Structure 1
Amino acid sequence: MRHFGSDIVTVADQLTEAYVEVFSGPPWNHRHPADTVDFRRRLVEDAQRPGFRAILSFSDRGEVDGFVTGWPTRPPFRTDRAYGRVLDRLGPDRVEELLVGALEIDELGVRPRARGTGLGRRLLTAFTADAPEGRAWLLTWNQAHDTLAFYRRIGWPEPAPRPGRETDIVVFVSPSP
C-alpha cells in the first residue's frame, strides 16, 4: 500500500481507471458514465483540500487494485453533493457531534478481481489508524447492499436517522476505539 497526499495527481489516470471499473458495475451501473469519469476532475480538486490523503493498493502488474481517499471534515458542514442529505438525515446537532472534526472517507473501492481478500478492510484500517480522536465517517447509497453488509460486518455503526428523515444514503461512523 502506498500513501499519497496532493501527489495523488501523479497516479490520477490509474486511479480513475480503477474508480470507473468499481463504480460502473452493479449496483452502481444506474449512474451516468460521465458521473464516474468526473471523478478525475474531483480528485484533482479534492487533492488540494486541507488534510487530503489517499492510500492505494497496487497489483503485481502496477495497477490499482483498491483505494481510499478522504480528509478531515471541517466546519461549516458542506451542503453540496450528498452532504445536504446527510444534514437532513442526522440533523445539524448530530452532524456537528459525530462528523465535524472526524476523518471523512470520501471514496473506498476495491476492484472485482481483488474482492474477498480483505483488501477493503485493510485499506480502511490503515486509513483510519490516525483519525482525529479515533473518529471517522463515510456514507454510501442505501441500494449498495454488499457495501452496507461490509460496513456492518466490520462493526461500523449507523447513526439512526431522525424520524421521517430517511434518505437514499446511509451514514456510518467508525467503531469506538
Structure 2
Amino acid sequence: MTSVRLFRGQDLRAHFPDLRSVYVDAFCAPPWHEGEEQAVEFVGRLSDNVRRPGFTAAVAFEGSQVVGFAIGWTTLAPFPTDRCYPQASAGLGIERTVDWLCGAREIDELAVRPATQGTGLAADLLTAVSADVPDGRSWLMTSVESSRAMSFYRRQGWIQATHPSPEGKGMVVFLGPHHPARALAAQPL
C-alpha cells in the first residue's frame, strides 16, 4: 500500500538518498536524458531549497521504500533569473510573471519510479504538494519535449500559460487548477 507524507523543511534530509534514487529512475530515460551528475546537482539544490519559504515536499512510500516525490515552495520576488526561469518570464512578460508567479507555490520537481507510472501516484503527489496553496496560486514549468508530461498536467486540470513557436523547444509554464489567472492565460493558435 502506498502512502503520501508531507515534509515542510529540514526533516526531509533523512530521505535525500532515496529522493536521489527516484530522481535517477525518473529522469534518466528520454526525453530527459539525465544521469548521476544531474541527480547530485538536484540533491545539492535540495539542501538549499528545504530552507525556502513555503517549502513543501510530498513523498510517496511503499512500506519504507520511497517511490515518488513532489517538491515546491513559494516563488519570491524578484523573480529568479537562474536555471529555466528566464524562459518563463520571456513567455509571460515581466508584469504577468510578477503578478501570476511571485508569491505562488512553485512545483519544482515531480518524479515517480517507472514501476508506479500510470497508477495515479503522480497525480496524488501533485495534489498533495499543492493542496494548501493560498488562493489556489500554484505553477510549474515543464519541457515541451515531454509530450507525456504536458498531457499529464493538462489531465490534472493545469493550464498551459506560455506557448513556444510550433517548432519550439524549451520550457513552458502551467498554472494550477485553481490559479486565479487561468482565464487570462493566452491559448495557442
Q: 2:59 is matched by which residue type in structure 1?
A: L
CA contact (8 A) 1:91 1:162 kept: no
Q: Do the aligned partners of 2:69 and 2:112 also contact (CA within 8 Å) in 1?
A: yes
**Structure 1 residue 38: deviation in Å?**
1.3
Classify the secondary structure of the residue corresponding to 1:28.
coil
Cα-to-partner distance string for 1:85-136 (whole Å, 9 max, x where unaligned): 1111111011112111110001011111111111111111111111011110
**In 2, Cα distance between the equivalents of 1:150 and 1:102?**
21
CA contact (8 A) 2:6 2:129 kept: no
Instruction: Give the Cα separation in 2 of the matches to 1:152 and 1:170.
Output: 12
CA shift, 1:79, in A, is: 0.4
**Which of 10, 16, 26 is the aligned partner of 1:12?**
16
Corresponding letter in the other structure for 2:78: P
CA RMSD in angstroms comes to 1.8
Structure 1 vs Structure 2: percent identity of aligned residues? Answer: 42
Any stretches of 5+ residues in structure 2 without a counterpart? 180-189
How far, CA to CA, are the matches of 1:176 and 1:48 in structure 2? Answer: 26
CA distance in 2, matches of 1:107, 1:176: 19
What is the Cα deviation at residue 8 of structure 1? Answer: 1.0
Across the two proteins, how many residue pairs are aligned to each other? 174
Pick closer, same or farther for the CA change 1:140–1:160 going to 2, 3 Å: closer
Corresponding letter in the other structure for 1:49: R
TM-score by length of 1: 0.91
Q: What amino acid does structure 1 have at the position aligned with 2:57? A: A
Q: Which amino acid aligns with 1:148?
A: M
Alpha carbons of structure 1 residues 10 and 156: separation in structure 2 relative to 1, 3 Å:
same
Match of 1:49 among 25, 49, 52: 52
Deviation at 1:175, TM superposition (A): 1.4
* TM-aligned CA distance change 1:116 to 1:161, over 3 Å: closer
Equivalence for 1:84: 86
Q: What is the distance in 2 between the residues matched to 1:96 and 1:147?
A: 25
Rounded to whole Å, the distance in 2 between the matches of 1:24 and 1:32 is 5
Alignment TM-score, normalising by the size of structure 2: 0.86
Pick from 37, 41, 44: which aligns with 1:38?
41
Return the offset for 1:161.
4.1
- Hey, what does 1:28 align to over in structure 2? 32
Instruction: For 2:104, give the aligned amino acid.
Output: A
Q: Is the Cα contact below 8 Å between 1:6 and 1:52 reproduced in 2?
A: no
CA contact (8 A) 2:55 2:74 kept: yes
* Separation in 1, partners of 2:24, 2:158: 26
C-alpha contact 1:3 1:55 (8 A) present in aligned 2: yes
Match of 1:76, SS state, is coil
**Unmatched segments (≥5 aa) in structure 1:** none
Matches of residues 20-169 of structure 1 in structure 2 within 5 Å? Answer: 20-29=24-33, 31=34, 33-60=36-63, 62-161=64-163, 168-169=170-171
d(CA) in 1 for partners of 2:86, 2:105: 18
